[in-house]
């Protein structure tokens, strides 16, 4: 059987698997697969069933990450890691994260159907809690796997249950005491690379009329989940010169950041910022009261570490200027960050060539969002990322990835593995102990 035919035969199975994942996460009007809870557990269990069909070895680490391995002929050769995540935001879509795990499973299934035998292990990973909405920190599973999770993160409480991350890991069968900074939990042995497929979270591929992009890089980000502005409650009729208006100070910061974005875009320096929460104190705000308290969240991101650092300096300057002019106090609160993730040039070329051999048109494209892949790139492991065309963005119920586009990612992975993986040399691997 040809590889193209084998991939085509996977499409009904892929569609059925995605339907079952949608049923697990059903939460009208969208999908919710809570991190470190029953629904994420059920998604992992579904992947284990598929692994059983394929004869893959199943393992879990102390952070409850799942590893499904197709053993290679040479067990000491550098393994290939592929994967993504199953958790979602609240009332999100079905494909963010899940598409990447499903594509990896389908690629292995198609290769097995052709009679291919890998020389090195191929491991599919499903990482826990990629989404930052649950514990105020993203990429938790891959951070833990790479020994990058700060110890204090285990004390973070999940937004809805109030239980700590350590509590949730324990409830899922993990061992939070074994999650130690600097200690990797990944399968033992050298790693050749990490590959991820993910739906695009912007309409660039829709605009280009292409099913797939080869990511050039993953932006790093700086996040403040609860920036608090403290002004002074006052009567609605208070003249402007006497006001310490926290809401207007928040608006000033918002518009200053938007102006900064326009300036950077005009200069050809890619960046983005998002203010997801933006509100007065709902327990005290009134129609006729000048707001003395205001809270907002901020996600600031860029593709270059030095550029991101410069943007953070600009943020601090904006905050200081607004605080002085408006007569308010501004506390940025806890700072979280994700590293910039450059995609490996050789992997980018190899993935593009594999897609072309399968008759799939691609384009180079920077990822607008952060992914587990960014942690692997920052850790020095060669990393590649496929972006799959997806209408209506993500983190909403209207995600609209088409199954044939997911199959394009499957075919690209399968052809790349067939042509490249078996012949890798140890000289390009990254040792894991």
Residues 203 and 213 in one domain: yes
Residues 14 and 102 in one domain: yes
395 marked ligand binding residue = yes
Cα–Cα distance for residue pair 43/47, rounded to 1 Å: 6
Is 232 part of any domain? yes
Is 57 part of any domain? yes
Predicted confidence at residue 101, as pLDDT, reads 98
Q: What is the pLDDT along the chain (433 residues), one digit of tens a residue?
A: 999 999 999 999 999 999 999 999 999 999 999 999 999 999 999 999 999 999 999 999 999 999 999 999 877 789 999 999 999 999 999 999 999 999 999 999 999 999 999 999 999 999 999 999 999 899 999 999 999 999 999 999 998 999 999 999 999 999 999 999 999 999 999 999 999 999 999 999 999 999 999 999 999 999 999 999 999 999 999 999 999 999 999 999 999 999 999 999 999 999 999 999 999 998 889 999 999 999 999 999 999 999 999 999 999 999 999 999 999 999 999 999 988 999 999 999 999 999 999 999 999 999 988 899 999 999 999 999 999 999 998 999 999 999 999 999 999 999 999 997 545 444 344 554 4
Residues 14 and 138 in one domain: yes
Residues 347 and 330 in one domain: no
Sign of the alpha-carbon torsion through 13, 15, 18, 20: negative
Using only C-alpha atoms, the chain has a radius of gyration, in whole angstroms, of 23
Give the ranges where 153-216 is alpha helix by DSSP (H). 165-171, 204-208
Residues 164 and 60 in one domain: yes
For residue 376, what is the domain's CATH number? Answer: 3.40.630.10
Predicted confidence at residue 326, as pLDDT, reads 98
Is 433 part of any domain? no
Is 271 part of any domain? yes
* Domain range for 291: 220-338
Q: Domain ends where: 318, 338, 358?
A: 338
Cα–Cα distance for residue pair 275/224, rounded to 1 Å: 10
Largest CA distance in the chain: 79
Residues 119 and 161 in one domain: yes
Predicted confidence at residue 433, as pLDDT, reads 41
Is 173 part of any domain? yes
Structure tokens at 386: 């496929």
Is 76 part of any domain? yes
Q: Model confidence over 255-276: pLDDT tens digits?
A: 999 999 999 999 999 999 999 9
Structure tokens at 73: 């002929």
Residues 137 and 49 in one domain: yes
Residues 84 and 207 in one domain: yes
Q: Is 298 helix (H, G, I), strand (E, B) or coil?
A: strand
Is 228 part of any domain? yes
Structure tokens at 274: 């998002």
For residue 311, what is the domain's CATH number? Answer: 3.30.70.360
Residues 249 and 103 in one domain: no
Residues 209 and 249 in one domain: no
Q: How far is CA 388 from the centre of its chain?
A: 14
Nearest to 252, CA basis, from 232, 236, 283, 275? 275
Cα–Cα distance for residue pair 329/303, rounded to 1 Å: 31
Q: Domain ends where: 293, 311, 338?
A: 338
96 marked ligand binding residue = yes
Q: What is the number of structural domains in the chain? A: 2
Structure tokens at 387: 């972006």
Q: Domain ends where: 308, 338, 368?
A: 338
Predicted confidence at residue 179, as pLDDT, reads 98
Residues 161 and 151 in one domain: yes
Q: Model confidence over 316-354: pLDDT tens digits?
A: 999 999 999 999 999 999 999 988 999 999 999 999 999
Residues 173 and 37 in one domain: yes
Q: Is 191 helix (H, G, I), strand (E, B) or coil?
A: strand
Query: Contact 31/88 with Cβ under 8 angstroms?
Result: yes
Cα–Cα distance for residue pair 142/65, rounded to 1 Å: 8
- pTM for this structure? 0.88
Residue 165 φ then ψ, to 5°: -60, -40
Is 30 part of any domain? yes
């Amino acid at each position: 059987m040809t590889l193209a035919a084998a991939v085509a035969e996977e499409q009904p199975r892929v569609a059925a698997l995605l339907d079952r994942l949608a049923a697990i996460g059903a939460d009208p009007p969208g999908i919710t697969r809570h991190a470190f809870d029953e629904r994420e557990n059920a998604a992992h269990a579904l992947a284990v069933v598929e692994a059983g069909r394929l004869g893959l070895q199943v393992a879990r680490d102390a952070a409850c990450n799942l590893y499904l391995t197709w053993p290679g002929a040479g067990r000491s050769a550098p393994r290939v890691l592929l994967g993504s995540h199953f958790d979602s935001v609240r009332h999100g879509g079905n494909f963010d994260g899940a598409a990447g795990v499903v594509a990896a499973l389908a690629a292995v299934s198609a290769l097995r159907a052709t009679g291919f035998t890998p020389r090195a292990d191929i491991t599919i990973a499903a990482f826990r809690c990629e989404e930052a909405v649950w514990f105020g920190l993203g990429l938790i599973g891959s951070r833990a796997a790479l020994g990058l999770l700060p110890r204090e993160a285990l004390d973070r409480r999940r937004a809805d249950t109030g239980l700590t991350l350590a509590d949730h890991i324990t409830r899922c069968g993990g061992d939070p005491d074994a999650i130690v900074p600097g200690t990797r939990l990944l399968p033992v042995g050298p790693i050749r690379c990490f590959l991820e497929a993910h739906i695009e979270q912007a309409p660039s591929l829709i605009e280009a009329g292409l099913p797939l992009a080869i990511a050039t890089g993953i932006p790093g980000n700086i996040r403040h989940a609860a920036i608090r502005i403290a002004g002074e409650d006052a009567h609605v009729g208070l003249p402007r010169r006497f006001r310490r208006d926290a809401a207007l100070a928040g608006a000033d910061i918002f518009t200053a950041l938007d102006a900064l974005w326009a300036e950077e875009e005009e200069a050809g320096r890619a960046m983005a910022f998002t203010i997801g929460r933006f509100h007065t104190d709902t327990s005290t705000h009134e129609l006729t009261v000048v707001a003395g308290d205001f809270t907002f969240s901020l996600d600031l991101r860029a593709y270059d570490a030095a550029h991101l650092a410069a943007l953070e300096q600009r943020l601090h300057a904006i905050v200081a200027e607004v605080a002085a002019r408006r007569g308010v106090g501004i506390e940025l609160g806890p700072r979280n960050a994700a590293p910039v993730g450059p995609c490996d040039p050789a992997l980018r070329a190899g993935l593009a060539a594999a897609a072309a051999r399968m008759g799939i048109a691609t384009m180079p494209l920077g990822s607008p969002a952060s992914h587990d892949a960014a942690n692997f790139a920052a850790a020095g492991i060669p990393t590649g990322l496929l972006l799959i065309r997806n209408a209506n963005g993500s983190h909403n119920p209207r995600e609209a990835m088409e199954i044939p586009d997911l199959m394009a990612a499957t075919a690209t992975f399968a052809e790349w593995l067939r042509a490249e993986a078996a012949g890798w040399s140890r000289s390009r691997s990254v040792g894991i102990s």
